Amino acid sequence: MVDRHRLLLVDADVQLLADLGDRLQRDGFDVTTARSGRAALAALDAAWPDLVILDLMIRGMSGEHLAARIKRRADIPIIVLSAISDAQTKVNLISRFAEDYVTKPFDGDELVARIRRVLTRLSERIPHQELDLGPDLTLILRRREAIVDGTAVGLSPNEARFLAALAANAGEAVSTERLLARVWGDADGADPAYVWVIVRRLRRKIERDPARPRHLVTEKRGGYRLVSAI
């Protein structure tokens, strides 16, 4: 059976939470709702969602502040659902926190299509499960964390996406070009040197001996591979 994607819906409007929550459940999602920033963070701690749908006008803290706190905890995609239609607000939120921005009033079919599009586009980004690569290394990429010889080591969003792109290919080599596309997308000035820099940085974090990597290895014919050393 295919796992249902988990959504966290955050909005101060009780009726919207009920109506939209029911709609999304019918469309095959598992939905948790929250009316305030504090409730949303508690829900986040209880179970990591695959995607957050967030209104900007919520109780206790601004939606923007909540989005920033979510992104500090994990690289979870966010769709803003808001009555604020100002173009600059949209640009700021998408550039800083959000994968997409939907203006209220909204069409339910369109919102579901946007949710599915984001989830599909990011399907290789962050695996759900922990990745046990040996007695010395476990990756918990949704929390942007590596456990190296029993010690937790933080990962940046790009580092987590980079490792996830390798993990999605089951030990096969992934080319520099594909890694650039997966991790940096359409970023201006993305250069193959970015890959070399992030590999060097990651080896310092996750390898016992960065000069003799066991897990993040370079392929002779090009590209990189994530290897289990169990």
pLDDT at 29: 95
Of 31, 2, 38, whose CA–CA distance to 17 is shortest? 31
Q: Which comes out higher in pLDDT, residue 210 or 70?
A: 210
User: Could you tell me the residue ranges of all domains in the chain?
Assistant: 6-121, 131-226
pLDDT digits (tens, 9 = 90+) for 39-92: 999 998 787 788 999 998 888 888 888 988 888 776 688 999 988 887 887 777
**In CATH, what number does 131-226 get?**
1.10.10.10
Q: What is the pTM of this model?
A: 0.58
pLDDT at 124: 52
**In CATH, what number does 6-121 get?**
3.40.50.2300
Report CA 140 to chain centroid distance, whole Å: 12
Amino acid at 192: P
**Cα atoms in the 13 Å half-sphere on the side-chain side of 7:** 29
pLDDT digits (tens, 9 = 90+) for 120-132: 776 555 555 788 9
Asked whether residue 186 carries a pLDDT value surpassing 80, the answer given is no
pLDDT at 230: 67
Q: Which comes out higher in pLDDT, residue 101 or 125?
A: 101
pLDDT at 149: 94
pLDDT, mean over the chain: 85
Tally of residues, the chain: 230
Mean pLDDT, to the nearest integer, of 14-26? 95
Q: 13: Cβ–Cβ under 8 A, 6 or more apart, which residues?
A: 55
Task: Region of 156 please: left (phi>0), alpha (psi -120 to 50) or beta.
Answer: beta
Q: Greatest CA separation found in the chain?
A: 58
pLDDT at 100: 85
